[in-house]
Amino acid sequence: MPLHIDIKVNDSLLSTLHIGRFSGGTGADDNNVYLIVDGKEPTNLDDWVMRGTEFKHRYGDGAEICVMKGIQALSGKWYNKL
């Protein structure tokens, strides 16, 4: 069940992020591999893998921490494009 995050200023959409669990489980202590994608929602596994940036997250830490870690992973990718 992916997370979908809209980033807006007032009513203007700046970006949409999508986070999906790539491997691991749903136990509180499971350390999983996730992929985050910026832009159009991925429609299949190949799309997630090709466009996604990988990061790790402990399932029991919750969705908000997962989003934070995903944005941190993307920030390195964005920074390297400068």
Report pLDDT digits (tens) over 34-68: 999 999 999 999 999 999 999 999 999 999 999 99
Closest CA to 75 of 49, 45, 55, 47: 55
pLDDT of 79 reads: 61
Q: Kindly tell me if the per-residue pLDDT of 76 is higher than 90.
A: no
**Of 32-36, 68-72, 74-78, minimum mean pLDDT range:** 74-78
The Cα 11–Cα 17 span in angstroms is 17
Q: Kindly tell me if the per-residue pLDDT of 28 is higher than 90.
A: yes
The Cα 49–Cα 82 span in angstroms is 23
In this prediction, residues 5-26 reach a mean pLDDT of 96
For the chain, what are the domain ranges? 3-80
